[in-house]
Amino acid sequence: MAGSTVAVIGGGPLGLMALKGFKEDGFDATLFESRDWVGGLWKHSPDDSISAAANTIFNSSKYRSAITDFPMPDDMDDFPTASQLQKYFESYCNHFDLWPHIKLNSPIGKVKRNQNDWSLEVGSKDGSTTSTEHFDKVVFACGSFLKPRVPDLQGIEKFKGKAIHSIKFNNPAQFKGKNVLVIGMHASAQDTVSGLSPHVSKVYLSHRSGVVILPRYGEDGSVYDRQPGMGTFIIMLYFSVLLPSLYQWLIDTMVGKMSKKAYPNVPAAWNFTPSPSLAVTAPMIASELWPHLESGLCEPVADVARITGPRTVELKDGRLLDDVDVIIYCTGYHTCIPVPLEPEELNPFAYVGAMPVLYRNIFSLNPDPAIRNSIAFLGQAGAPLPGFVQFEMQNMSVSQIWLGRSSLPPLVEMQKWHRGYMAWRERTAKKYGVTSTFYSVFVPMADHFTWCDETAGLGLKARFGLIERWTRREAWGLWWSDQELYNMCLSGLTTPAIFRLFDVGKRKAWAGARKQIVIENEKVERQQKERQKATMKGV
């Protein structure tokens, strides 16, 4: 209920959005961040903590990625850099007066459940002092990129060069003149190759299952994530439930054609195809990697079979690389929570890298209803929506449940959902032939969006649903009162402001949402025309 105290652990985007949302809804919320900045991994850190690389560029465009009621500024790149995003989150704190509620340099040593509340053991930057603070509710907003995943390579003890995870890739200049083997091929691999490119002699890019690569801009000059509009998106949700196999085949085929059109000359020797279905992996936005592939500096090679000597690596296709000086693992992260919970059974992860045992990948399945309604884990339910709105929907949902405007179902229904979710993951992994568990936070989009729409009070399906747009009073009322806005929402840019447009008596609408929807649609049209003009001039 409003007035309850809430502890938010983690000062990245998840934590900041949660803090703002709880504060807006009347909770007395405090955010704890172990480092001396906000923005989480979006501030490049030269130490061994997780952070974006100095050259990281966000995969989603600013037109789709902003927080729902805080647009990204005009001077930000179409695809923001890490430093621009970190500055954006600092501005977010300024704009919504969050700083008085944020405690930096405050690592949490332990979270303990007491009879009626939660106690947090709060440390200091130098570890010299510890205090205990009590809260009614606790939110873990640490995300899912926490513990580096390092493959167990046969014969690695024979390798005499340096082998590191990308989390420790902080100074590419140290590899000057070296031959580097990068294992893994997604966003962190692209950043690593781009960072290495001015310094190294050669990069081998080892991958095991191919990848779909896409450019940042479409053939018409628009940002690649401009579509689909809200109307098409919701039709896709229905389609994914009614005819899931056909739906996924169409998505894979459509995106595959986009990839081939943008990159028609991919050598067969790179083995990018066949690639895994987008049901179990995400496409790679390859605009920064492609020039290094074309130049030959970076050569895609097969998966590693074993290490056979001080500089020799055997690949699974039988090829030997006999000149490897450095190995960099771009192999992702295990999911876990970085703070001990007492009692231990409250930890939703049985072990590091396990699937979380949670309802909606957010709420505890503990038998005690007081626990289920007072602890939440954010960032464990990812869905294919661009940018930050996919997680902001979860923040809104948690807040509305704790306010009592929405509610959790009985425990037996929560447990049933979790069993169904795990069965869906098992079926999907088997169907698409993935050899290891696919990205642990993937959730079925139709189910997840529908639940968030109702629980958070977004009001989107009632106005733009395939059936609802013809049968619901809310849809006809919007169309009658503001046809321009209705059509813009239905078929224009799905700007994040749409998620703050309607007030259904739950989360607060944003008074500036309509204006921002118009502005963002005008911006993306202007961006497309400017890029077309620049392309015609050969720029």
Q: If pLDDT is split at 50, 70 and 90, which confidence band does 125 have?
A: confident
CB crowding 409-418: b at 16 or more within 10 Å, else e: eeeeebeebb
- What are the residues facing 307 on neighbouring strands? 313
Quote the pLDDT of residue 436.
Answer: 55
Quote the pLDDT of residue 186.
Answer: 84
Average the pLDDT over 257-283 and give the result.
90
Whole-angstrom CA distances from 126 to 34, 47, 107, 440 are 11, 16, 10, 34
For residue 453, give the DSSP letter. Answer: I
Whole-angstrom CA distances from 262 to 62, 214, 450, 527, 532 are 21, 7, 34, 19, 16
Q: How far apart are CA 350 and CA 338, in angstroms?
A: 13
Nearest CA to 106 among 134, 90, 130, 89? Answer: 130
Q: How far apart are CA 377 and CA 16, in angstroms?
A: 14
Quote the pLDDT of residue 50.
Answer: 73
pLDDT tens digits, 54-72? 788 999 999 999 999 999 9
Sorted by sequence, the CB contacts under 8 Å of residue 263 that are 6+ apart come out as 213, 215, 286, 290
Backbone angles phi, psi at 31, to 5 degrees: -105, 135
424, 444 Cβ separation under 8 angstroms? yes
Quote the pLDDT of residue 157.
Answer: 95
Residue 390 has pLDDT above 60, yes or no: yes
| Range with the poorest average pLDDT among 229-238, 299-308, 372-381 | 229-238
189, 330 Cβ separation under 8 angstroms? yes
**Percent of the chain with pLDDT strictly greater than 90:** 71
Q: How far apart are CA 528 and CA 222, in angstroms?
A: 5
CB crowding 115-141: b at 16 or more within 10 Å, else e: eebbbbbbbeeeeeeeeebebbbbbbb
Higher pLDDT, 379 or 515: 515
pLDDT tens digits, 301-333? 999 999 999 999 999 999 999 999 999 999 888
Whole-angstrom CA distances from 267 to 210, 272, 295, 303, 515 are 12, 9, 13, 17, 47
| Range with the poorest average pLDDT among 39-53, 310-324, 357-371, 413-427 | 39-53
pLDDT tens digits, 486-535? 999 999 999 999 999 999 999 999 999 999 999 999 999 999 988 888 77
Which residue type does 197 have? S
pLDDT tens digits, 328-354? 999 888 888 889 999 999 999 887 777
Residue 539 has pLDDT above 70, yes or no: no
Residue 95 has pLDDT above 80, yes or no: yes
Alpha helices for 129-263 (secondary structure H): 187-196, 230-242, 244-262
Domains of the chain with CATH codes: 5-146+334-457 (3.50.50.60), 150-215+263-331 (3.50.50.60)
Cα dihedral 345→349→354→359 (10° resolution): 100
Quote the pLDDT of residue 396.
Answer: 96
Quote the pLDDT of residue 441.
Answer: 67
Q: How far apart are CA 397 and CA 455, in angstroms?
A: 5
- Torsion sign over Cα 258, 260, 262, 266: positive
Q: If pLDDT is split at 50, 70 and 90, which confidence band does 440 have?
A: low
457, 402 Cβ separation under 8 angstroms? no
| Range with the poorest average pLDDT among 60-74, 204-218, 348-362 | 348-362
Which residue type does 253 have? T
Q: How far apart are CA 465 and CA 479, in angstroms?
A: 13
**Percent of the chain with pLDDT strictly greater than 70:** 97
pLDDT tens digits, 391-410? 999 999 999 999 999 999 99
Quote the pLDDT of residue 438.
Answer: 58
Quote the pLDDT of residue 538.
Answer: 58
- What are the residues facing 122 on neighbouring strands? 108, 131
| Range with the poorest average pLDDT among 27-31, 98-102, 176-180, 216-220 | 216-220
Q: How far apart are CA 313 and CA 302, in angstroms?
A: 11
- What are the residues facing 113 on neighbouring strands? 118
Q: How far apart are CA 93 and CA 109, in angstroms?
A: 25
Mean pLDDT of the chain: 91
Q: Three-state SS string across 243-302, please?
A: CHHHHHHHHHHHHHHHHHHHCCCCCHHHCCCCCCCCCCCCCEECCCCHHHHHHCCEEEEC
Quote the pLDDT of residue 439.
Answer: 61
